[in-house]
Amino acid sequence: MSEEKIWTVSEVNSAVREVIEGGFHPFWLEAEIGTLNLHRSGHAYMTLKDNRNQIRGVFFGGAAQVRALGVAIGSKVEVFGNLTVYEVRGEYQMSVRTMRPIGVGDLQRKFEELKSRLNAEGLFAPERKKQLPLLPRAIGVVTSADGAALRDFLQIINRRFPNMRIRIYPATVQGRGAEKTVAAGVEYFNATKSADVVVVTRGGGSLEDLWPFNEEVLARAVAASEIPVVSAVGHEIDFTICDFVADMRVPTPSAAAELVVGRQEEFAEFIASSERRLDSVLELALEKLRGRLDRAANSPVFSEPAHLLRQHQQRLDELTNRLDSRPDLILSKLSMTLERLNGSLKALNPKAVLKRGYAIILDKRDGTPLMKSDVPPGTRLRAILAEGELALRSE
């Protein structure tokens, strides 16, 4: 008789692991998330269940993907992976390689199509975004009246600015037709002009939960709003069409409250600081005016008004003297010019030349002055002297 083998717990678990992991190829599993723990290590631990049974699941390094998909307890998912055994506890589990929410493919496609179409229309353009008021007189909030988002929003507002006026439009924020009630809230505040800024908000959830905020009817109501709209839908990782169309997007309801109002004490300090700066500017302006007034008071114009009059009278006398002397000056210049011209004329007078001993020889026949000496012999000539004439004959 052979000796019976005595197994250890580790040996049994190791054998079971080999059987299970070798007997199942990777496969897709449809389930509902029963429990979910996103560990700081980056791994996701969960329970996958249907209406009768459950199985443990682990998604190594998958915490970020789970967050990005908006998966939470109660979400229906499809996971792809293989069965493994955690030998330490003797438990088998689904080792997840990838995950997708059931139906997310169609919703994501609809999301991208609407986003692309509205973007092409210019509804997301930065230049159409409206500025938020520095300090609104009233804030309109469109959200569920009994949701955590409203409680978080009001808590921050009451702490930062206790006497701020808040008007709440109760709306359905999840399920079929919710987008119409949220759009009606935005339109209500525009029609009544009862708020200076409108906050559209709700807490986080799956893509299906947030889907009303991806509907076109709400997007167009927000785009048409004359009042600035702040979208605070979901968590930081969640983005909706409403976020893109709104004038400002913030990740949480609390962040929306911090955005639309500052701390009351900060406004009080800002006002006090502005008053101090204004006092300083006014004091400087008054100092300059006092200086101008002192200089004006010490000016001779005010201390001795006749002084300025006497200066003008003296100036008038000088101009009069200059005017009186101008005719004599002009006449003197003209006389000098006349004498100069007269001298030039005298220098050009032929008689002046004759007086210096010269003579003008003329052909006696026609009186033509001779310009050269080659005249025929016997030609009768006339010589004009400074005083009188002589009759000549050429040889």
Domain boundaries, the chain: 10-102, 107-262, 302-346, 352-393
* pLDDT tens, position by position, 78-94: 999 999 988 888 889 99
Enter the DSSP assignment of 372: S
Burial, 200: exposed, middle or buried (Cβ in 10 Å; 0-12, 13-18, 19+)? Answer: buried
Candidates 192, 187, 96, 201; CA nearest to 144 is: 201
Please indicate whether residue 356 or residue 215 has the higher confidence score (pLDDT). 215
Quote the percentage of the chain above a pLDDT of 90: 36
Q: Which two tokens stand for residue 226?
A: 């004359």
Name 36's Cβ contacts closer than 8 Å, sequence gap at least 6: 44, 45, 46, 47, 66, 71, 72, 73
pLDDT at 221: 96
* Lowest mean pLDDT, pick from 3-12, 113-122, 188-197, 309-318: 309-318
Please check the confidence at residue 122 and state whether its pLDDT lies above 60.
yes
pLDDT at 94: 93
Please indicate whether residue 207 or residue 91 has the higher confidence score (pLDDT). 91
Candidates 176, 183, 194; CA nearest to 220 is: 183
The pTM (predicted TM-score) of the whole model is 0.49
- Compute the C-alpha angle 9/11/17, nearest 5°: 105
> Could you check whether 10-102 and 107-262 share the same CATH topology?
no
The CATH architecture to which 107-262 belongs is 3-Layer(aba) Sandwich (3.40)
Candidates 94, 61, 62, 66; CA nearest to 80 is: 94
pLDDT band at 360; cut points 50, 70, 90: confident
Mean pLDDT, the chain, integer: 84
Enter the DSSP assignment of 19: H
pLDDT band at 242; cut points 50, 70, 90: very high
pLDDT band at 188; cut points 50, 70, 90: very high
pLDDT band at 104; cut points 50, 70, 90: low
pLDDT band at 38; cut points 50, 70, 90: very high
pLDDT band at 202; cut points 50, 70, 90: very high
| pLDDT, mean of residues 167-172 | 95
Burial, 339: exposed, middle or buried (Cβ in 10 Å; 0-12, 13-18, 19+)? Answer: exposed
Name 169's Cβ contacts closer than 8 Å, sequence gap at least 6: 140, 141, 142, 143, 184, 185, 188, 189
pLDDT at 204: 80
pLDDT at 198: 96
pLDDT band at 324; cut points 50, 70, 90: low
CATH 2.40.50.140 fits 10-102, yes or no: yes
d(CA 167, CA 198): 9
pLDDT at 4: 84
Please check the confidence at residue 132 and state whether its pLDDT lies above 70.
yes
Candidates 109, 114, 83; CA nearest to 97 is: 83
Please check the confidence at residue 225 and state whether its pLDDT lies above 90.
yes
Please indicate whether residue 214 or residue 103 has the higher confidence score (pLDDT). 214
**CA dihedral sign, ordered 132, 137, 140, 146:** positive
